[in-house]
Amino acid sequence: MKHYILGLSMTAAALTMSFSSCSDFLNEPILGQQDMANYFTTEDECAKQLIGCYQGLACDGWWQIYKMYNAADMCTDDEWMGNTTQDPGDYYHLAHYSGNTIQAGNSCQNFWQYRYKGILQCNIEIQKTPNVKFNDAALGKRYIAEAKFLRAFQYFDLVKNFGGVPLVEGLMMPNEVKGIERASVADTYAFIEKDLLEAIPDLPLRSQYSSADLGRVTKGAAQGMLAKVYLYEQKYKEAETQLQAVIGSKEYKLLDNFGDVWSMDHNNSEESLFEIQTNGTMSYSLGEHFSVVVGSRDDGGWSWGLPTSNLDQAFKDEGDSIREVWTILHHNQTYVPNDNTWTKDNPYIITPSKHKSARANMKLFIPIAKRPSPYDGPHINLNYRLLRYADVLLMYAEVENALGNDVEARGALNTVRKRVNLADVTSSGTALRDAIRKERRLELALEDNRLYDLRRWNDDNGKKAIENIMGSNGTFVHYNLVESTDPYETTNQNENSNKGYNFVNGRDELFPIPNSEIIMSDGSIKQNPGY
């Protein structure tokens, strides 16, 4: 009987305990990280999320983002893939226009994914910040403006590569994007314009930021970016307004020395409107790694993305020795500016058998003394320049020429030329237009501009510029297959000199949408024509 009571009382105890405590027992919060449900209640949390939005620009030196910037230049007459000792993998299908939709789309898939990841973080900042009370209301508005710029910038990165893309403006659940379609190119641009136009009034001028905030989005950056957006749409008048505002703000000027433009000693210089910020700490991946990717194999690099002799020749034809030496490194060069490691006895080596053109990218070259150890990692403290004042001036020149104001156009153009000791251009009309286009190539070479310029420029024969240089009759293809006497490029056929031969008009003016995305959408997202 004693045991009977014991048994019953234990059961009773068990049941009592269970009923009284199980609602607590079943509440298991996630430890060690914050829950979004309790976040976005303070100014500080909005400030932090905004930092997260900036982080999305390069995602801690994520190589796939820089890879796309690199591949875009490889798709032009400025660069080869370059590495001739390794299978080029992904690069090949883009740079050589193989027409393989799936593989070319795969090359872009990660970039696509990470741009949308960045956009979501901006969307959340834009959605959440207005609900938080700021002591200084202007600060809250500025945060939203910064996030809108970053969102616009990333959509711009998408539209210029892929054409119109699906527009996602907030945090959505999967069923809310069912059947989503690509916006038209015009609508995508309209979305970008709206973000930038809304951001501009709330953004401070560069000079209004404290030095601790250097690197944040400025009014000038937003105006400059918007001008570029307008220019890509050939909205010259609207572009002019924005460019004049940037120029008129007197916030920016060209650096005296062209060689300083891509020097890590001149990060965030007066010439700079917007840069991906870097830091060389070993503890985090906050630096860039692009310099290693494009570097000579003989100098610790991977040699993906090497300048062409065609570009080299363009500098020579122009007598542009200053920019040539600051843009292209040559095999056996005995003098490398800013780096006295290289001498007559110890010349810089870019072994021709390993490198298509035996040339390398000087803009991203890091002098030996400035390299972090280890060098091969995302720790290089060179900010990646996304928009600089020389670009603004050349856009202005292009806009004014298009609007018929050739005097204004020549003024801006010649300001840029003056820095590198080149004579003033005196032509006008179409000749001036061509001079400005050439100047853009020389000034902004290897800076992820050329491909999009070639895609947007209309030539006199009614074709896009890229259609005239690529394809079986393209000038660049003809140059390489017939005219070129470059001793390196003509002999090293491990990357075929016929790059661009397979270019197809009507298809290769855009990259393909990643195939997985088309399938996942059950076809509501459509592929670009020709693929």
Pair 92, 314: CB distance under 8 Å: no
Residue from 42, 51, 184, 208 binding another protein (CB under 8 A): 51
Distance CA 301, CA 105 (A): 26
Residue 89 engages another protein in binding (rule: CB under 8 A): yes
- Cβ nearer to another protein, comparing 287 with 422: 287
Distance CA 494, CA 313 (A): 22
Contacts of another protein in 418-477 (CB under 8 A): none
- Cβ nearer to another protein, comparing 1 with 369: 1
Cα dihedral value 506, 511, 295, 330, nearest 10 = 10
Residue 123 engages another protein in binding (rule: CB under 8 A): yes
CA distances, 208 to each of 48, 203, 274 (Å): 21, 10, 15
Residue from 61, 82, 105, 259 binding another protein (CB under 8 A): 105
- Cβ nearer to another protein, comparing 85 with 332: 85
Contacts of another protein in 336-355 (CB under 8 A): none
Which of 194, 47, 198 lies closest to 134 in space, CA to CA?
A: 47
Q: Which stretch binds another protein (CB under 8 A): 71-79, 206-214, 330-338, 459-467?
A: 206-214
Contacts of another protein in 258-287 (CB under 8 A): 267, 277-279, 281-284, 286
Angle at 275 between CA 372 and CA 259, to 5 degrees: 70
Tell me the number of residues near another protein by CB under 8 A. Answer: 117
Residue 8 beta carbon to another protein: minimum distance, rounded to whole angstroms: 8
Instruction: Count CA atoms within 13 Å of residue 177 on its CB side.
Output: 17
Tokens representing 112? 């696509």
Residue 12 engages another protein in binding (rule: CB under 8 A): no
Residue 526 engages another protein in binding (rule: CB under 8 A): no
- Cβ nearer to another protein, comparing 50 with 203: 50
Residue from 55, 127, 244, 475 binding another protein (CB under 8 A): 55
Instruction: Count CA atoms within 13 Å of residue 16 on its CB side.
Output: 6
- Cβ nearer to another protein, comparing 430 with 498: 498
- Cβ nearer to another protein, comparing 116 with 315: 116
| Residue 275 main-chain phi, psi, to 5 deg | -140, 150
DSSP code of residue 339: B
Pair 324, 312: CB distance under 8 Å: yes
Tokens representing 349? 């080596």
Which of 417, 393, 363, 388 lies closest to 271 in space, CA to CA?
A: 388
| Residue 236 main-chain phi, psi, to 5 deg | -65, -40
Q: Which stretch binds another protein (CB under 8 A): 86-94, 246-254, 458-466, 474-482?
A: 86-94
Pair 495, 353: CB distance under 8 Å: no
- Cβ nearer to another protein, comparing 98 with 332: 98
Which of 113, 117, 122, 297 lies closest to 195 in space, CA to CA?
A: 122
Residue from 54, 80, 91, 155 binding another protein (CB under 8 A): 54
Rg, Å, the chain Cα set = 27
Pair 458, 464: CB distance under 8 Å: yes
Residue 127 engages another protein in binding (rule: CB under 8 A): no
- In 3-state terms, what secondary structure has residue 329? strand
Residue 51 beta carbon to another protein: minimum distance, rounded to whole angstroms: 2
Residue from 43, 64, 109, 459 binding another protein (CB under 8 A): 109
Residue 117 engages another protein in binding (rule: CB under 8 A): yes
DSSP code of residue 376: S
Residue 483 engages another protein in binding (rule: CB under 8 A): no
Residue 206 beta carbon to another protein: minimum distance, rounded to whole angstroms: 13
Contacts of another protein in 160-179 (CB under 8 A): 165-166, 168, 171-175, 177-178
Residue 441 beta carbon to another protein: minimum distance, rounded to whole angstroms: 28
Contacts of another protein in 491-510 (CB under 8 A): 493-496, 498, 502
Contacts of another protein in 363-422 (CB under 8 A): 373-377, 381
Residue from 197, 214, 322, 403 binding another protein (CB under 8 A): 214
275 φ/ψ sector (left φ>0, alpha ψ -120 to 50, else beta): beta
- Cβ nearer to another protein, comparing 203 with 314: 203
Tokens representing 121? 């973080």
Residue 301 engages another protein in binding (rule: CB under 8 A): yes
Residue from 70, 76, 101, 129 binding another protein (CB under 8 A): 101
Residue 48 engages another protein in binding (rule: CB under 8 A): yes
Provide the sign of the torsion angle of the four alpha carbons 218, 220, 221, 227, taken in this order. Answer: positive
